[in-house]
């Protein structure tokens, strides 16, 4: 349960106790307020977030400027999610931090999570993805990826199935392409976060398409001729939607749609281009907690993907092979092939279909079986590494947490 929440009657703490809207002056003032003063007092206290251990200290006065309110709102959300607010020392210390120290705390936490992720990156096979330097259209198999997405959409439509899962993957592809200037700048400036985001999201797109093909597509004997038809296994769709890869792409799409991807990378790129330490620049931004909070959310999203790819140790070529099989089978459909003029031509195409189907099934079975094993391993590792932090686990000193030696992220 969050540390504080709003109720219709006022602020409630985690024990559902109403915290009265009073200040220290009222404690020693027996004079009843006039109706006008009561209205003014209620308006001043509206939306106030109060420290449990210092109940008369206003930690989030929403009557202040919007950026200040947003600052505290974002900080409290991060505290509620990542910190052990049942620990009195942690709770008390966090609410005594000034804005610079809050920034330091979030950066320190983000670096911890990023370090967990980056330790596993070297074991992941990204294939040719890093060589495209942030421009996904330079990927050797980019057209193949696009063609597979279009074929899957056609198959889903043919079977009157909701195309949302494949469109979600297509949106991720388009968002990566739309933000290619950001990712290319990250490669040029060696911005670690941007490079990791690009490599893992692109690998997530490729592997999600291949997993969808492996679980949703079947090659069946055609009832109309001796050949094979492409069919949709609807039971596989739910497996795709529940996968870590797909869920991570959904989060990435939402972050890109809201502008969080750009907001997390643009300040780092600008700072690097001017020769500044990116963290030093973030400290000078009034809404730094908001920006670092966005970075934290992006790191958390990427961590799930990296854990999955680390568990799988699969080669990108395996994912691409099954995509190639789908394209080849689609090109060799008997009812649409332009090469069939004789019975011999038909027999040749059928033999080719059977060969493709056999190779496809082997790869599909391997991908599906490995996925289940990898998903369990990744989920277990994510749970094992997930914890509620205490104040002693992070650095709240702006002079050290904000330095370039404070962690690997920037």
Residue range 309-332, pLDDT digits in tens: 888 877 788 888 888 888 877 776
Q: What residue spans define the domains of the chain? A: 4-93, 116-401
pLDDT in tens, 100-142: 788 888 888 888 888 888 888 888 889 999 999 999 999 999 9
What separation in angstroms does the CA of 81 have from each of 76, 129, 297, 299, 388?
9, 33, 11, 14, 8
The CA distance from 284 to 268, in Å, is: 13
Q: Of 131, 71, 123, give the one whose Cα is nearest residue 98.
A: 71
pLDDT in tens, 191-216: 888 999 999 999 999 999 999 998 88
* Residue 255 pLDDT class (50, 70, 90 cuts): very high
Phi, psi of 10 (to 5 degrees): 150, -160
* Chain center to CA of 101: 26
| Strand (E) or helix (H) holding 219 | strand 217-221
Contact 155, 230 (CB under 8 A): yes
Among residues of the chain, what percentage have pLDDT more than 70? Answer: 70
Contact 394, 407 (CB under 8 A): no
End-to-end CA gap in the chain: 32
Mean pLDDT of the chain: 75
Contact 165, 250 (CB under 8 A): no
pLDDT at residue 196 in the model: 92
Q: Of 68, 67, 57, give the one whose Cα is nearest residue 95.
A: 57
The CA distance from 221 to 43, in Å, is: 72
The CA distance from 380 to 376, in Å, is: 6
The CA distance from 306 to 50, in Å, is: 38
Q: What is the DSSP string of 370-395?
A: HHHHHHHHHHHHHHHH---B-GGGS-
Parallel/antiparallel/unpaired status of strands 217-221 and 18-19 = unpaired
* Residue 47 pLDDT class (50, 70, 90 cuts): very low
Contact 100, 398 (CB under 8 A): yes
Would residue 49 be called left, alpha or beta, if left means φ above 0 and alpha means ψ between -120 and 50 degrees? beta
* Chain center to CA of 95: 28
- Reduced to 3 states (helix: H, G, I; strand: E, B; else coil), residue 328 is helix
pLDDT at residue 227 in the model: 62
Contact 195, 133 (CB under 8 A): no
300 versus 314: the higher-pLDDT residue is: 300
216 versus 28: the higher-pLDDT residue is: 216
For residue 32, give the DSSP letter: P
pLDDT at residue 133 in the model: 96
* Residue 360 pLDDT class (50, 70, 90 cuts): confident
pLDDT in tens, 70-109: 557 778 888 888 898 888 999 899 889 888 788 888 888 8
Longest dimension (CA), the chain: 104
**What's the rounded mean pLDDT across residues 54-82?**
59
The CA distance from 218 to 159, in Å, is: 13
340 versus 396: the higher-pLDDT residue is: 396
pLDDT in tens, 215-232: 888 777 665 555 667 788
As given in the structure block, the two tokens for residue 66 are: 């919007």
The CA distance from 7 to 11, in Å, is: 6
Phi, psi of 243 (to 5 degrees): -80, 150
pLDDT at residue 338 in the model: 55
Strand ranges across the sheet with 10-13? 4-7, 10-13, 18-19
pLDDT in tens, 31-46: 444 555 545 544 444 4
385 versus 288: the higher-pLDDT residue is: 385
């Amino acid at each position: 349960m969050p540390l504080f929440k709003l109720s219709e009657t006022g602020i409630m703490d985690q024990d559902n106790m109403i915290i009265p809207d009073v200040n220290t002056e009222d404690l020693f003032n027996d004079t009843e307020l006039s109706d006008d003063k009561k209205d003014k007092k209620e308006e001043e206290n509206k939306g106030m977030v109060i420290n449990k251990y210092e109940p008369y200290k206003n930690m989030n006065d929403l009557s202040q400027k919007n950026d200040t309110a947003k600052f505290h709102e974002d900080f409290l959300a991060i505290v509620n999610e990542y910190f052990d607010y049942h620990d009195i020392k942690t709770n008390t210390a966090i609410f005594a931090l000034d804005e610079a120290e809050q920034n330091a705390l979030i950066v320190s936490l983000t670096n911890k999570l990023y370090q967990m992720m980056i330790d596993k990156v070297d074991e992941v096979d990204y294939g040719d993805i890093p060589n495209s330097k942030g421009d996904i259209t330079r990927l050797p198999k980019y057209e193949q990826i696009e063609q597979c997405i279009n074929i899957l959409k056609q198959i889903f439509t043919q079977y009157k199935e909701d195309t949302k899962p494949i469109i979600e993957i297509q949106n991720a592809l388009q968002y990566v392409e739309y933000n290619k200037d950001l990712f290319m700048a990250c490669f040029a400036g060696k911005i670690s976060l941007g490079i990791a985001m690009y490599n893992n999201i692109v690998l997530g797109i490729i592997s999600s398409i291949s997993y969808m093909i492996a679980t949703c597509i079947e090659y069946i004997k055609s009832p109309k001729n001796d050949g094979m038809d492409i069919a949709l296994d609807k039971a596989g769709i739910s497996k795709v939607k529940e996968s870590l890869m797909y869920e991570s792409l959904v989060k990435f799409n939402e972050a890109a749609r809201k502008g969080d991807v750009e907001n997390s990378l643009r300040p780092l790129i600008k700072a690097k281009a001017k020769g500044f330490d990116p963290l030093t620049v973030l400290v000078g931004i009034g809404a730094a907690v908001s920006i670092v909070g966005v970075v934290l959310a992006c790191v958390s999203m990427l961590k799930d993907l990296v854990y999955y790819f680390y568990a799988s140790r699969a080669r990108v070529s395996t994912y691409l092979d099954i995509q190639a099989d789908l394209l080849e089978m689609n090109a060799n459909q008997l009812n649409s092939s332009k090469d069939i003029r004789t019975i011999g031509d038909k027999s040749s195409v059928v033999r080719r279909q059977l060969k493709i189907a056999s190779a496809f099934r082997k790869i599909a079975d391997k991908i599906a079986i490995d996925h289940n094993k990898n998903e369990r391993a990744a989920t277990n590792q994510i749970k094992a590494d997930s914890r509620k932090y205490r104040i002693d686990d992070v650095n709240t000193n702006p002079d050290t947490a904000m330095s370039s030696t404070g962690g690997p992220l920037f």
